[in-house]
Amino acid sequence: MNILSIIIAILLFGFMIFFHELGHFSMAKWAGVKVNEFAIGMGPRILSKTVGDTTYALRLFPIGGFVAMEGEDEDSADSRSFTACPVWKRIIITAAGGIMNLILGLIVVIVLTCGQSLLGTTTVANFTENSVSANYLQVGDKITAVNGESADCDYDIIYSLIRDGDGIVSMDVIRDGKKLHIDDINFDMADYGGTKAIVLDFGVYGEEPTFGGVISYSFRWMYSLIKLVWRSLGDIISGNFALNQLSGPIGVTEAIAEAASSTNIKSLLLILALITVNLGVFNLMPLPALDGGRIFFMVIEWIFGKPVNRKVEAVIHSVGMALLLVLMVIVAYNDIVKLVAR
Domain-wise residue ranges, the chain: 3-113+273-341, 118-208
Q: What is the percentage of the chain residues whose pLDDT exceeds 70?
A: 85
- How far, in Å, CA of 67 to CA of 93, rounded? 11
Q: Inform me whether the pLDDT recorded for 328 exceeds 90.
A: no
- Assess whether 21 carries a catalytic annotation: yes
Which of these ranges, 5-19, 49-63, 290-304, has the smallest mean pLDDT?
5-19
Give the DSSP letter of residue 174: E
CATH fold for domain 118-208: Pdz3 Domain (2.30.42)
Query: One of 21, 37, 72, 254 is an active-site residue; which one?
Result: 21
- pLDDT higher than 70, residue 260: no
Cα dihedral 63→67→68→74 (10° resolution): -90
d(CA 104, CA 301): 30
**DSSP letter string, 240-292:** SS-GGG---HHHHHHHHHHHHHSS-HHHHHHHHHHHHHHHHHHHTSS-TTSHH
Q: What is the pLDDT of residue 13?
A: 80
CB atoms within 10 A of CB 253: 22
Give the torsion through C-alpha atoms of 31, 32, 33, 38, to 10 deg.
Answer: 90
